[in-house]
A and B are shown apart, each in its own frame.
Chain A
């Protein structure tokens, strides 16, 4: 880091481009955050003023952006050591580290304050917990220490639908907890499928990712175990009577497809030069799965609200 301090000094003299600040918020990850948050909000029983609803989703997005900026502030050195992340604004020297920290804190604090003042304080508290969970508990504490880091990190991504739901109802009931659980159990098989076919250099920077620490075989078995749990968890909102049959049917069908696609991944061993087709297929489907599942939740709610069914 110190060897190129000369070049860094000259780069940092220039005011950072706003696009680099924007990149700090991990805009691509945010699409899923916004979508699941919006689905939680739309599926919740009750109504919310469109302006307040929009503000709630904006706050969820701002909070996620703030947490992402804090994550990159902390991991700048690690990111610099990995090919995939070396060109991010901080390791590339386009942005000063202190600026990233201030930006992250500003976004996080603003999102929680606005959520509390304009929408609901319980939703604001959960948002604050989720930011703390991702930036501190996950990024700083557990990610570098345990191969279960993805399982724990999944918790951070699982908050948005819960926050969206609570923004409408103002209380934590079983349903928002189940929505949380769905993303929580979906994240590990989703990420590990990717980890199997993308050879990352996490090992080089000392992050204990599951395939590196426990081996490929154990990772494959874990994917199958989580897929089975996911089948039960995804069907749970319907089983407990929180949704109708539209969601129930789609959730079971989608989760069965997820399980079927994870079986070849779990049972095979990839040799040299393997194309990793089953792993790529499972990963691609996992993204579609989550979007479809949450869309089903909203469709189910609207259909019953309109009296189309039952």
Chain B
């Protein structure tokens, strides 16, 4: 892997991890909200 290729690799990896992190955070909040609502039922 050339340095350019490695830089591209890292860039893609980073953007994918960022999106995955956001998705996970969203689900943490969603499940928290669902739990609170369900406890009130």
Name A residues whose Cβ lies closer than 8 Å to a Cβ of B: 13-18, 49, 51-52, 55, 58, 118
Q: Which of B1-41 contact A (CB under 8 A)?
A: 8-9, 12-13, 15-16, 19-20, 30, 33-34, 37-38
Contact B9 A15 (CB under 8 A): yes
Contact partner, A14, options B12, B20, B30, B33, Cβ 8 Å: B12
Q: Known: A14-B8, A15-B9. Is A52-B37 also a contact (CB below 8 A)? A: yes
Q: Which 5 A-B pairs have the closest CB atoms?
A: A18-B19, A118-B34, A15-B12, A51-B33, A51-B37
Name B residues whose Cβ lies closer than 8 Å to a Cβ of A: 8-9, 12-13, 15-16, 19-20, 30, 33-34, 37-38
Main secondary structure of the interface of B (DSSP, over half): helix
Task: Give, as a whole number of angstroms, the nearest-CB distance from A28 to chain B.
Answer: 20
Contact A15 B37 (CB under 8 A): no
Q: Which residue of A lies closest to B34 (CB)?
A: A118
Kindly list chain B residues whose C-beta atoms are within 8 Å of the C-beta of A55: 30, 34
Task: Give, as a whole number of angstroms, the nearest-CB distance from B35 to chain A.
Answer: 9
Kindly list chain A residues whose C-beta atoms are within 8 Å of the C-beta of B16: 15-18
- Provide the bound-state CA to CA distance between A55 and B38, in Å: 12
Kindly list chain B residues whose C-beta atoms are within 8 Å of the C-beta of A51: 33-34, 37
Kindly list chain A residues whose C-beta atoms are within 8 Å of the C-beta of B19: 18
Task: Give, as a whole number of angstroms, the nearest-CB distance from A240 to chain B.
Answer: 32
Contact B13 A15 (CB under 8 A): yes
Kindly list chain B residues whose C-beta atoms are within 8 Å of the C-beta of A49: 37
